[in-house]
Structures are given as C-alpha cells and as structure tokens.
Amino acid sequence: MTSISAATVYVVDDDASVREALAWLLRTRRLISEPFDCAESFDAYVSRPDFEVRDPSCVLLDMRMSAMSGLAMFEKLIDYGLLPLLPVIFLTGHADVPTAVDTVKRGAFDFCEKPFSDNALVDRIEQALVRSAAALVARSQSSSLQARLDGLTEREREVMRLVVEGLPNKLVADQLDISVRTVEVHRARVFDKMGVKSAVELANLLRGLETG
C-alpha cells in the first residue's frame, strides 16, 4: 500500500473562510495543508527553479478567483510538467461544471461542486495523493532505468537494440561484424547492467520507459 503520511495538500482559493475551513477539515484527517490566497502566489511558488514534488501532493484549486483563474493556473501546471505528480481537484460552482468536466479530460484529477460534502472531498483528496505517490514511484523507476541505460557502452547499446528486435546471436554477430562469442559477452553484460534475465524482460523494460 502506498503511504501518504508525508503528503501536502495545496489549497488555492481567494476566499479566506474557505481556506480556513479546508485547513480544519484536512487536519481532522491528519493531512498537512499549505494555503495560497491567489493563483499568482501559488504560481510563484511552483515556478521556482528549486521547486520539486518530492512527497505525495495535490492541489485544491478554486475555478474562479479575482485575478488569475484556476483554469489559467491549471494550464501553467501542465506547462510546468507537474501533472500527474501534482493532481488537481477543482473547487467549482454550478456554472463552472462543464468547464471542470473538460479539465478532467485534459488531466485534472477531479472537480468538487460547491457546497461540497466534506467526507466525499477528503476521500477524493486521499485518492489524489495515492495517485501522486504512484507517479513519484514511476518517476523514480524511470530515472533508475535511464541511469542504467547511460551505463551501457556504445557497442552494448548496439547489441541490445538487435537483441530486443528478436535477432539470434548469429544474426547480431553478422550485422555488427563481430564474433558470436563477442555478442554473447556483450549480451550478458547488457542483461547484468539492466537487471534482466531475458530479451523479453529487457524489451518490456524499455517499453515501459517509452510509455512512461
């Protein structure tokens, strides 16, 4: 089970009473929240060069605010590449529901119509934090895989490419103009460095990197 014990919920709403109510609600579930009174201040926070999502996090984002709208902030989060590490739950009025539905299609986690059910909202927040935790794990695995790829020599990369294509050692040797024994050595080193035991496992590993 993915832990969300170190999670942070960013609350972006220009209504102080809403921010305070949400902070209290989150405390009842032992969740840490960080309030922002406008999208501009939240934008300044997440656009800093040193900002990084290190622990499970999500954003409660008011759709309509006095200056920058929640929708505009959502677009910025997309541009910054922060989804799905930082899932967004929109807080919206009835008139905004069609727009909120569209944002879900574009990657928002969910929307909650005001006035919202406390329990239903916190349940969705916890689910968003689990989504964030899973995205963090996937990012870590992708970084680890890329590091292993970077550790391959040029020749090992050539052998790997042909092995993944399903070529037997003899054909790999013919294409690279090397001996079968040399192919076997490089193949073994590739498997060892990549942490796999078969060509199929290696292909699946690389496919996961492409789709990730």
Band the pLDDT of 144: cuts 50, 70, 90.
Answer: confident
Helix (H, G, I), strand (E, B) or coil at 121: helix
* pLDDT at 210 (0 to 100): 65
* pLDDT at 1 (0 to 100): 39
Computed over every residue of the chain, the mean pLDDT equals 92
Band the pLDDT of 5: cuts 50, 70, 90.
Answer: low
Average pLDDT over residues 71-97: 93
* pLDDT at 211 (0 to 100): 55
Rounded Cα gap, residues 110 and 125, in angstroms? 9
Q: Which of 158, 47, 14 is nearest to 22 (CA)?
A: 14
Paired tokens of 27: 């405390």
pTM equals: 0.75
Rounded Cα gap, residues 207 and 212, in angstroms? 8
pLDDT of 172 higher than 90: yes
Please state the φ and ψ torsions of residue 107, each to the nearest 5 degrees: 125, -10
Pairwise pLDDT comparison (4 vs 61), residue with the higher score: 61
Q: What does DSSP assign to residue 14? A: S
Average pLDDT over residues 20-27: 95
Least confident of 21-30, 34-43, 175-184, 198-207: 198-207
- Domains of the chain are 8-144 (3.40.50.2300), 151-211 (1.10.10.10)
Pairwise pLDDT comparison (66 vs 89), residue with the higher score: 89
pLDDT tens sequence across 25-80: 999 999 999 999 999 999 999 999 999 999 999 999 999 998 899 999 999 999 99
CB atoms within 10 A of CB 40: 15
Q: Which of 133, 128, 106 is nearest to 58 (CA)?
A: 128
Amino acid 156 reads E
